[in-house]
Structure 1
Amino acid sequence: MQCPLPRIAQPWLPRFWSALLLGLMLVSGATPAAAQAERCPKLVAENPFLKHLGSRALPAAYVAPRQVGLTYIGHSTFLIETAGGVTVATDYNDYVRPSVVPRVATMNRAHSTHYSLNPDPGIEHVLKGWREDRDPVHYNLDIDDLWVGNLQTNIRDWRGDTIRNGNSIFVFRAADLCIGHLGHLHHTLTHDDIGALGRLDVVLAPVDGSYTLDMDGMIEVLKALEAPVIIPMHYFNESTLENFLTRFAGQDYVIERRESPELVLSRETLPTKPTVIVLPGSQY
């Protein structure tokens, strides 16, 4: 585990070290994964003035500057909205879609509820998390006030064989928040994977415990990522969700259930104690 750096009073120093690190990566020929970690650097200190705020819920109808809107559509699909008006649909498919045509759609290849053969032609950026030749695919996109990157993982086919680079963990950064969508994750992450992902403030995690990663493995991944907010997805039924929540409640996490599928997130309102937030959505 990395040791957090002490809080630095001079406001220019974090920018100096960030620029220096980026320069060193460029000179040394750093990988796209390393560059991604720079986009979402690890938190260096806790702000003591934010402790009293907790995990406030705000209406998602309005996304102000320094905020990000998040709506759970269902299964593995979320609608992410930035203050600048960029919209993203994760694991965009032909069964469960948001009511708006997103500017960005990410997809994974596990099965047809995670990708679309007929994406809406109005989508500006269709980002497939795999290549048919199984070579790596890397995204490093700036779209107005949103940045999108990815980390590839492997998946199993129906016979249990490994499909290399079949899944992407997509990372979205807006308003100084980093949101990671684990996709159809089938295996635990290595130390290098965790380092490449960098700081994740919100993790959207499949918790079915069978079609994706088993429950023990998923808990291991989520604990390693150390995100302040975890939002379960891809759990099919209430009993599977309850199994995950029961297991996670013993991991020093707060469990919150919301009545609305919408959240507005900001750095100022991140919970100081790791929290699992359950949002209602279609599981079909």
Structure 2
Amino acid sequence: MAMRIRIFGIVLGVLVAQSAVAQDRTPSHCVALAENAPGLEYVVPASLGPVADETVRIHYITHASFLIRSHGGLNMVTDYTGFTGSAPFIPDVVTMNHAHDTHWTANPDPAIPHVLPGWGPFGEGISHHLDLGEVLIRNVSTDIRSQFSGIETKGNSIFVFELAGLCVGHLGHLHHEPDAAQYAALGRLDVVMAPVDGGYTLDLPTMIRVLKRLRSSVVIPMHWFSLFALDDFLAGMSDDFAVVEVGGPSLDMSLDRLPGRPTVMVLRPVWLSEP
């Protein structure tokens, strides 16, 4: 009997601990169901300034790289190339896509706890479901053009970050409109970073169609190469979306700050540097 009581106590303790981890993240309205990952340890990152409770900071670093920072201090970098600026900085999580070397590195710092490539063996894709308590990171695989203009099935990943009740999506090097299953897997994205170059990824009419279907509250253009491409994109979006020039590289977003009308928020990239 004593042994049974002891085992029951251990099981109950584990369940309580797992429940505490799951409750660290405010539930979002995305379609993913979080699995628990207790016992994770985090590298203490460089000081990048505090983030208010239930808020997400998004900082445009360069090209397709963004810093996504949680109010608890977790730092995630998208399309990580190995360099983020002059600040001494080790992210907790990096995501990568391998369309070009401006979206990934073959030699990420081994001190980074979680390195998530957006591809697997050729044509097979990869699946990520990383639950850090405060943040859940998952991906939806899409195709990309291969080196010689062929198709690499499932060679790109759209990464989704669920935190502070928000769903933040990064379309990566998207080369085709998602199909019905991919749209369903993405779910509702509150904030989406979208490549708007108009040629290296999707042509502008198709990208605009994708974004209008996603109907995210906030669209952040990236991967635009020139102001002409950016201006063309903004003109194409302006009928259904408001356009706001943020005036810098960063914005803080929370559920209560989402705009009532879908809005394109233009950030200007800046490398990370010491405060």
Shorter-normalised TM range: 0.7 to 0.9
- Deviations for 1:78-110, whole angstroms, at most 9, x for unmatched residues? 000111111100000045558321100000010
Equivalent pairs counted in the alignment come to: 229
- Amino acid in structure 2 at the alignment position of 1:70: I
Give the whole-Å Cα distance in 1 for the aligned partners of 2:186 and 2:170. 11
Provide the TM-score with structure 1 as the length reference. 0.77
**3-state SS of paired residue (2:202):** coil
Shift of 1:64: 1.6
1:92 match: 80
- The C-alpha deviation readout for 1:160-210, integer Å capped at 9, x for no partner, is 210011100000010001000000000001122111111100000000010
- Read off the aligned partner of 2:81 and give its amino acid letter: N
Query: Which residue number corresponds to residue 124 of structure 1?
Result: 113
In our comparison, the structure showing a higher alpha carbon Rg is 2
The alpha-carbon distance between structure 1 residues 205 and 191, as it changes in their structure 2 partners (threshold 3 A), is: same
Uncovered stretches (5+) of structure 2, i.e. residues with no partner: 1-29, 35-47
Amino acid at match of 2:175: H
User: Does residue 208 in structure 1 map to residue 197 in structure 2?
Assistant: yes
Q: Secondary structure at the match of 1:141?
A: strand
Which stretches in structure 1 are left out of the alignment for 5+ residues?
A: 1-35, 41-59
**1:263 alignment partner AA:** L
Distance 1:135 1:230 in 2: 29
* Alpha-carbon distance in 1 for matches of 2:156, 2:270: 22
- Who is 1:237 aligned against? 226
- Cα-Cα RMSD: 2.0
Q: Tell me the equivalent position of 1:21.
A: none
Match of 2:31 among 37, 45, 52: 37
Task: Tell me, in whole angstroms, the C-alpha distance in 1 between the residues paired with 2:84 and 2:153.
Answer: 27
Asked if 1:281 corresponds to 2:269, the answer is: yes
* CA distance in structure 2 between the aligned counterparts of 1:204 and 1:224, rounded to whole angstroms: 14
Residue 94 of structure 1 contacts residue 113 of structure 1 at CA under 8 Å; is this kept in 2? no
Corresponding residue of 2:185: 196
Counterpart CA distance in 2 for 1:218 and 1:115 is: 22
Match of 2:95 among 106, 125, 130: 106
Change (3 A) 1:255 1:218: same
Contact 1:72 1:79 in 2 (8 A): yes
Counterpart selection for 2:238 from 235, 249, 254: 249
Q: Deviations over 1:55-89 (max 9, x none)?
A: xxxxx833121111110001000000111111100
Runs ≥4 residues deviating over 6 A: none
Match of 2:18 in 1: none
Q: For 1:28-177, what aligned pairs fall within 5 Å after superposition?
A: 37-39=31-33, 61-94=49-82, 96=84, 99=87, 100-177=89-166
Could you tell me the percent identity over the aligned residues? 44
Please report the TM-score for the alignment, with normalisation by the length of structure 2. Answer: 0.79
Match of 2:248 in 1: 260
